[in-house]
Structures are given as structure tokens and as C-alpha cells.
């Protein structure tokens, strides 16, 4: 049974859930995300307190990915910024601390208003190559297909007013749907008819296969945008990278649904890797994962050593593993 905002690991068949996202359409509940509406002439100065990306050139109806960081540039979260009007933005983050700092910054600015909307909305995501066709019975297909990648529009879904953004956290085609929280059960029921409900084990494995970072894992080391190869989302002069985030395949004696490090992470030594995420991938017959190596280190004969000896035969592979050229979420609809 659907339980709003409960983080459900899976719905009983993890492999089928992953297959639905890769081959058809899958439904996820992202309502755990913290969200705020920031408006007024000083909005971007307030947002700059948690993100160093420049949002000056954003157009209304655009979404931008951003990295949340401390004053010293250490990464702590990732964000999406939705521009609703000339001086009005929605900020979404998985880290509550981001909204606390935004609220504090806005309170000292008479030209900015901060409203925490986390409890007023739910966020559902439909992901997979058949997403557009799956939603045809619930939303205007022509208008939906016209939403550009990292764009959004106000549309009705099953007769309910929603904001729909085209995003692909799984590495696939996809949409995120923002809806009033009082419609959450009704819309989930409608969406679950056209797309398979999936839990967080599936989305986490999908994002590992796509080579995407998860702040709760990859940002546990004191890393910067340069260390993870995403300086384009910082847009300020960065220090040279100390580390290099890689995607790898490896061997493990265990079958891993989702693996995360249990203790505090230590920086990688030469020839070694600090592993931050991993999962068994039956489709590939190996463990896939993400981790950090020294910036100029390519291992011995292309391989890396796990100091904890939980993984062996660790080989770097192209990132993202599943779609090296990142064409899937960006492609036009067929």
C-alpha cells in the first residue's frame, strides 16, 4: 500500500523494477526532497549562499542542476533550481540544512521572501524510455513532448494541476511531477496504473549504472566540484583537483543490493580507491560502483586496490557506465 513520503526500499521484485525503468516506465516517490520558493530582487544573492553556480542567464521555465557547498567550496549536496518568474525560484535539495541556510539568509534581506513548501507538495518521478506514451492517458501528450530537457511546464495530470519538469535521474528519459500534497494518494493511484511503482534500491542502482553521484555517498569525502569532474556546475575559479571520481567494475564474494561505506572515509592513497557506492549488476555480471582515486592516478596496469579488501579486480570503466555519451536522457522523443 502507498505510504506518502515513506522511503520504500522495494516493492518485492527489485530486478523487475530496474527492468521497468530501463525498458518501459517506472514510478518513484521523491517526496523526501526539501523544497522552498524564493522570490524577490535579491533571490539569486540568497541562493548564492549555498551554491556557486551562476543563474543569471536562466530563462523562465528552465531548471538548472547545481552543487551545494560550504564556504570553503566543499560539496555537501546537489540541487535543482526551477525558475518560475523573473524573480521567483523553487530550490529543491535532499539536504535539510540547505533550506535552513537559505531561510537565514533571506531573513536578513528585505528584498527576498523565503517560503518552505516541502509539506505543501509531493514530487513523483516517471522514468524510462516509454514514459511519454505511458502518460498519454493522463496528460496532453503534445504539450508534454514539447518540454525540453531541464525545462518545465504547468500541465494537468489526470485533471490535477501540476508542474512537470523533464529530468532523468536514472539516466533514462523522465519527468518529475510536482503536485499539491492533498492530491498525493489520488495521483499516485493514477500513475501506478501506467508505470510500475519502484523503490529506492532500484533508483540507487540505476543512478550507479548511470554514473551519477549521490551526495550522501560521494560527498562524504571532503571533495570539490573539480574532484568530481563537475566544475561546469560551479562556474567559479576552482583549485586543481586532488582526487578523481571514477566508475569501476569489480568482483565481490557477496551479492550486493546496494553497498555504502559504513565508516568515515579516508582519502585514497596511490594505486588505491576509496569506494563510495557499489551494487551487484546481474545484467553485467559484476559489481559496478563509484569511488575516488588520486587525481593523476590510473592504477597499476589499469587496476586499483581496495584497502578494505571488500572488492577485487577493480577496473576503471567509462562513466557513465550504462550510457557513455549521455544520449539517453537528452534524446528527442521517438
Splitting the chain (334 residues) into consecutive groups of 10 residues, what average pLDDT does each group show? 61 94 96 96 96 94 95 91 97 95 95 96 96 96 95 97 94 95 96 96 91 92 92 76 94 86 88 95 86 94 90 88 67 75
The pTM assigned to this predicted structure is 0.93
- In this structure, are residues 288 and 279 in contact, taking their beta carbons and an 8 Å threshold? yes
pLDDT, residue 5, reads 47
| Total residue length of the chain | 334
- What CATH number has the domain spanning 14-204? 3.30.1360.120
* Distance set, CA 85 to CA 35, 163, 167 (Å): 17, 14, 20
- How far does Cα 280 stand from its chain's mean position? 20
81-101 burial, b if ≥16 CB within 10 A, otherwise e?
bbbbeebebbbbbbbeebbeb
pLDDT, residue 323, reads 63
pLDDT, residue 120, reads 97
pLDDT, residue 320, reads 66
- CA proximity to 23, closest of 191, 202, 214: 202
Domain residues of the chain, as ranges?
14-204, 212-317
Q: Which residues pair with 115 in a beta bridge?
A: 37
- CA proximity to 45, closest of 130, 134, 129, 110: 110
Q: What is the DSSP string of 151-202?
A: BEEEEEETTEEEEEEE--TTSSSEEEEEEEGGGHHHHHHHHHHHSEE--HHH
Q: Which residues pair with 301 in a beta bridge?
A: none
Amino acid at each position: 500500500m502507498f505510504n506518502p513520503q515513506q522511503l520504500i526500499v522495494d516493492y518485492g521484485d527489485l530486478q523487475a523494477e530496474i527492468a521497468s525503468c530501463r525498458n518501459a516506465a517506472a514510478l518513484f516517490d521523491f517526496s523526501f526532497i526539501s523544497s522552498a520558493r524564493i522570490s524577490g530582487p535579491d533571490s539569486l544573492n540568497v541562493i548564492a549562499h549555498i551554491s556557486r553556480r551562476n543563474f543569471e542567464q536562466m530563462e523562465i521555465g528552465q531548471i538548472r542542476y547545481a552543487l551545494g557547498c560550504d564556504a570553503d567550496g566543499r560539496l555537501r549536496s546537489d540541487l535543482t533550481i526551477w525558475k518560475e518568474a523573473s524573480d521567483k525560484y523553487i530550490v529543491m535539495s535532499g539536504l535539510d540544512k540547505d533550506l535552513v541556510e537559505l531561510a537565514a539568509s533571506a531573513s536578513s534581506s528585505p528584498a527576498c521572501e523565503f517560503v518552505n513548501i516541502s509539506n505543501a507538495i509531493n514530487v513523483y518521478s516517471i522514468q524510462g524510455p516509454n514514459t511519454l506514451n505511458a502518460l498519454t492517458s493522463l496528460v496532453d501528450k503534445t504539450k508534454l513532448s514539447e518540454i525540453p530537457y531541464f525545462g518545465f511546464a504547468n500541465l494537468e495530470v489526470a485533471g490535477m494541476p501540476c508542474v512537470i519538469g523533464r529530468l532523468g535521474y536514472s539516466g533514462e528519459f523522465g519527468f518529475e511531477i510536482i503536485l499539491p500534497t492533498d492530491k498525493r494518494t489520488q495521483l499516485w493511484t493514477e500513475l501506478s496504473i501506467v508505470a510500475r511503482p519502484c523503490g529506492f534500491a532500484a533508483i540507487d542502482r540505476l543512478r550507479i549504472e548511470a554514473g551519477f553521484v549521490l551526495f550522501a555517498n560521494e560527498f562524504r569525502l571532503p571533495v570539490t566540484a573539480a574532484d568530481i569532474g563537475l566544475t561546469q556546475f560551479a562556474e567559479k575559479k576552482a583549485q586543481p583537483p586532488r582526487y578523481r571520481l571514477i566508475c569501476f567494475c569489480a568482483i565481490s564474494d557477496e551479492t550486493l543490493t546496494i553497498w555504502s561505506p559504513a565508516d568515515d572515509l579516508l582519502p585514497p592513497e596511490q594505486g588505491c580507491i576509496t569506494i563510495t557506492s557499489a551494487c551487484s549488476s546481474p545484467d553485467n555480471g559484476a559489481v559496478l560502483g563509484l569511488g575516488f582515486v588520486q587525481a593523476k592516478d590510473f592504477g597499476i596496469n589499469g587496476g586499483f586496490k581496495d584497502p578494505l579488501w571488500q572488492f577485487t579486480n577493480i577496473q576503471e570503466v567509462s562513466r557513465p557506465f550504462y550510457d557513455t555519451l549521455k544520449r539517453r536522457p537528452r534524446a528527442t522523443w521517438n
